[in-house]
Amino acid sequence: MQIKLPDGSVHEYQDGMTALDIAESISPRLRKATLGAMIDGKRADVFCPIHGDHELRLLTFDDPEGRWTYRHTASHMMAQAVQKLFPNVKVTIGPAIEDGFYYDFDIDEPFTPDDLVKIEKEIENIQKQNLPLERFELPRAEAIRYMSERKEPYKVELINDLPEDAIISFYKQGDFVDLCAGPHVESTGKVKNVKLMSVAGAYWRGNEKNKMLQRIYGTAFEKKADLDAYLTRLEEAKKRDHRKLGRELGLFAMRDEAPGMPFFLPKGMVLRNTLIDYWHDVHKKWDYLEISTPQIMRRSLWETSGHWEHYKDNMYTTVIDEEDFAIKPMNCPGSILVYDLEPHSYRELPLRYGELGRVHRHELSGALHGLFRVRCFTQDDAHILLAPEQIKDEVVRIAQLFDEVYSLFELPYTIELSTMPEDHIGSVEDWDTATKALSDAIESIGKAYVINPGDGAFYGPKLDFHIQDSLGRTWQCGTIQLDYQLPGRFDLEYVGADGEKHCPVMIHRVVFGSVERFIGVLIEHFAGKFPTWLSPVQVKVLPLTDRNIPAAKEIEKKLDALRIRVETDTRNEKIGFKIREAQMQKIPYMLVIGDKEVENNVVAVRSRGEGDLGTMPLESFTERILKEINDKVNNGN
């Protein structure tokens, strides 16, 4: 058989050799490191025979697919351990996920921390046994009978959902057998350094009407040093949790009276408004026209847009004057109505409408998570109406705007191109044209991207921008969605250079994504230590004694006149306590005012990042801080 390797070379091997055999022929070291394989672009077992000519890529832990295979096997090892320790448990599903894996169990009593310790020890025993992974297949009817005999009702349910003619695959390791499509590593001995992280509730098959199961999350790394580094990052992430810092810094609150709908507190509003002011500045620079559209609009609008058919389960609806209305989950139909108010010429295009629009979406209560997953949020939307021949230049322009914004916050990013989903509107030809337009634009400016097949919006393909924070975590924020469908559904037109009427194309795009979510990302990215220009309080004035309060208040007045955000701590507390409090509030600068400072007409400056800067005239300090604010210097750490 002919095997083509990633370097383009083609080698002849005996038919029926495995990926591990081929790895061994290249290098014993490669064979030892190989965890999985990609055969013709699809993940595959390394221990199954290969027949015929194929493209082959061998996977190690350095490859995302290799890590996936490693952790997928770890999930099976965990299920085997749980089944041995808790014989009455019913196993369900256990996939690998980003940075780890989980498995859901049906068990009467919830797992305890002590249980996790026992399970980990049993996983170690399974690893030491070095049990080979064996794949076998059964016809559907026989697979149902096999799982029924093993008293696995959840597996039987999954098999029943498969087609009548399906061939069902299983994996066996020792006495443990699991229904699974695979792939897996060759043996349990390959999977080391497994750490169980937490337990959570999860509905069977994600349906809140089904039984609540116990989900154990875990992770696994090839090297213990990498596991230790990962656990250290997690501890740092806990310290940066935006829900914790949001409460401690007085930024926002969540209340049971409005689940999933954040309350922004005074300091949080300063942060929010400063961010929005920046948004206004950027969008004015890039020639956007700001609009505002109603939050509640008639059902007929959402039927025309397609949202009523494709998104109704996530929409809040109401009845006004015996007529159905919906609270908008998206801003795009409102922008379309604005465009439709008057006729347009090709000379006006592209028309760029920017909107900070409040939207509401019904998210399951179990999915709500601080500012990251809410039911009410502000999208920093823009909807651009343009001619088809303008798409490439406009997408390039948007990508440059994104680059400017993310660079300011020191957030590197990657780009993902999401293609046509099964549930879509419009012809395949339109989708192909739109997808190519996006890829051509990004390639023209030398940006790399990866394909995310089938994850486009129902009306068009999209480019998603995944930003990376200071802990290396990624967040999908910006998006550019190309839409050939909605303008046509609303009969939008413009007069072209030929004097004829044409239908414009629409680009949907956000840079923050959601103002609330972006704030949550920034809180964790900066660990609450916002750059001076973004900090809710930029300066804290700390009088040493009560007699220094008048001088401190005079300094506060001068700074306030310069639009520097300042507070004075007039409490009858020791200066060390006041400094520690200001440090806990992560305020960029503290000005200590005592008798000597008043006498010499100076301020003693302490910087959050640099510590004691000594004394200086107030004018020198204001010159320094104003430059930081105006230049938007990133001094968050």
Tokens of 186: 């060759």
Tokens of 375: 């039911």
**SS3 of 40-85:** CCEEECCCCCCCCCEEEEEECCCCHHHHHHHHHHHHHHHHHHHHHH
Phi, psi of 36 (to 5 degrees): -155, -175
Q: How do beta strands 90-91 and 176-179 pair?
A: unpaired
Cα separation, 567 vs 118, in Å, equals 53
Catalytic residue among 379, 481, 485, 538: 379
Listed in sequence order, the DSSP H helices in 98-223 are: 113-129, 140-149, 153-160
Catalytic residue among 375, 462, 529, 608: 462
Instruction: Check if 462 is active-site.
Output: yes
Catalytic residue among 45, 178, 381, 569: 381
Instruction: Check if 627 is active-site.
Output: no
Catalytic residue among 67, 361, 606, 608: 361
Catalytic residue among 67, 190, 192, 332: 332
Per DSSP (E only), the strands in 469-519 are: 474-483, 494-495, 501-502, 505-510
Instruction: Check if 381 is active-site.
Output: yes
Instruction: Check if 361 is active-site.
Output: yes
Cis peptide leading into residue 350 (ω within 30°): yes
Q: Select from 535, 543, 531 the least CA-distant residue to 565.
A: 535
Instruction: Check if 383 is active-site.
Output: yes
Catalytic residue among 76, 190, 352, 508: 508
Q: How do beta strands 351-360 and 413-418 pair?
A: unpaired
Catalytic residue among 283, 328, 383, 397: 383
Cα separation, 40 vs 22, in Å, equals 15
Q: Select from 597, 532, 595 the least CA-distant residue to 566.
A: 532
Q: Select from 566, 538, 533 the least CA-distant residue to 552.
A: 566
Residues paired with 325 in a beta bridge: 298, 318
Instruction: Check if 42 is active-site.
Output: no
Phi, psi of 544 (to 5 degrees): -70, -40
Question: Which residues belong to the active site?
Answer: 332, 361, 379, 381, 383, 462, 508
